[in-house]
């Protein structure tokens, strides 16, 4: 089964900025018997495609494996019954320094020696292939541990698919990632927005081979991801409040200087309309030019103004004014429409 779903979900949580008890979420899951790590790759590929197409800015996706995490705790001497509670402390490393996390795990009954061993390993993060090579060396503490060896073998296969699928460079291999303690059984990941808006994770997922069986009694391997739509909207809203928002779809104002230039102004406007460029036009007295330029810039946020004067027309030119940069230049009347079209396209590419 392969399915996606966008719907309202609920969570027992203390409401805060970006955290809701009722919110919309987009899920995508692949369930059933597939070749090893193939559906895991596809989920990870989809995650980066979604985040790229949302165009909300920079983000980082942390990637880990639950069995590697369990193996690490076993290597460090953590009793199996404490795996879950110690993992919940490790998962706070994105918010707290290691010293605070170390104190917390010791308060939970872990020895200082075991805590220090964990501290030397959970700080490891980096480019997936580079860190994988380090963890698979003969002198690596993970060698010889069954859970870790299996996890590293699976990650090696996964990274080869991700490299071919051209999404590996979007991920960071991070041994401190420890999410979904109750149900994830393999690969886990979490996407965090790294722009100016502080929002926490915006997408996450992993492999959950035992979860379906908990409810149905039927063992069904599965892997999936969730995208927090409300959080993405919150980021977009805050971003929009930080930039000037244009109040009109008009790209060009054609401004005739003098009431005798209506035919010329209309002709220029029509040339721009034929190129599907949003254009307004008017003719004003010379004494009204400054006010109209001010309105175009401040009130209407029109990026380009064509100034049409009789003296310039006699020379075969008009003036084109870039309102944001306050740069004015003379442009050939005959080539005006094509030049404006190029400038607008260039400005769109730059943003």
10 known member of a binding site: no
Residue 150 to residues 41, 70, 99, 130, 284, Cα–Cα distance (Å): 17, 11, 30, 18, 77
Contact status, residue 292 vs residue 282, Cβ threshold 8 Å: yes
169 known member of a binding site: no
* Residue whose token pair is 């170390």: 102
Contact status, residue 20 vs residue 13, Cβ threshold 8 Å: yes
183 known member of a binding site: yes
33 known member of a binding site: no
Cα 123 to Cα 102: distance, rounded to the nearest angstrom: 12
11 known member of a binding site: yes
Contact status, residue 12 vs residue 131, Cβ threshold 8 Å: no
- The CA-based diameter of the chain, rounded to the nearest angstrom, is 90
Residue 52: strand, helix, or coil? helix
Task: Please report the sign of the dihedral spanned by the C-alpha atoms of residue 61, residue 67, residue 70, residue 71.
Answer: negative
138 known member of a binding site: no
- Environment class of 73 (CB within 10 Å of its CB; exposed 0-12, middle 13-18, buried 19+): buried
Residue ranges of the annotated binding site for L-histidine are: 11, 25, 29, 179, 183-184
Residue ranges of the annotated binding site are: 11, 25, 29, 179, 183-184
């Amino acid at each position: 089964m392969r399915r996606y779903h966008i719907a309202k979900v609920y969570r027992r949580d203390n409401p805060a900025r970006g955290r809701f008890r009722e919110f919309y979420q987009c899920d995508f899951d692949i369930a059933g018997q597939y070749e090893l790590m193939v559906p895991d790759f596809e989920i990870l590929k989809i995650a980066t495609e979604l985040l790229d197409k949302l165009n909300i800015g920079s983000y980082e996706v942390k990637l880990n494996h639950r069995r590697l995490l369990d193996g690490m705790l076993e290597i460090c001497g953590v009793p199996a019954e404490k795996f879950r509670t110690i993992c919940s402390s490790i998962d706070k490393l994105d918010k707290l320094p290691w010293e605070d996390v170390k104190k917390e795990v010791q308060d939970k009954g872990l020895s200082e020696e075991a805590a220090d061993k964990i501290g030397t390993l959970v700080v490891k993060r980096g480019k997936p292939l580079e860190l994988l090579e380090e963890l698979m060396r003969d002198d690596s503490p993970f060698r010889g541990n069954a859970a870790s060896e299996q996890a590293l073998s699976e990650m090696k296969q996964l990274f080869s698919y991700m490299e071919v699928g051209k999404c590996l460079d979007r991920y960071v291999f991070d041994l401190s990632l420890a999410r979904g303690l109750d149900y994830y059984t393999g690969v886990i990941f979490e996407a965090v927005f790294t722009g100016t808006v502080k929002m926490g994770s915006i997408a996450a997922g992993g492999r959950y081979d035992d979860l379906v069986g908990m409810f149905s009694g039927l063992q069904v391997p599965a892997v999936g991801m969730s995208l927090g739509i409300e959080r993405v909207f919150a980021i977009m809203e805050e971003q929009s409040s930080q930039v000037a928002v244009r109040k009109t779809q008009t790209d060009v104002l054609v401004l005739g200087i003098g009431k005798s230039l209506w035919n010329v102004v209309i002709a220029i406007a029509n040339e721009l309309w034929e190129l599907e460029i949003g254009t307004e036009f008017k003719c004003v007295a010379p004494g009204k030019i400054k006010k109209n330029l001010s309105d175009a810039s401040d009130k209407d946020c029109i990026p380009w103004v064509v100034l049409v004067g009789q003296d310039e027309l006699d020379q075969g030119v008009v003036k084109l004014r870039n309102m944001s940069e306050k740069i004015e230049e003379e442009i050939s009347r005959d080539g005006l429409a094509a030049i404006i079209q190029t400038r607008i396209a260039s400005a769109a590419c730059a943003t």
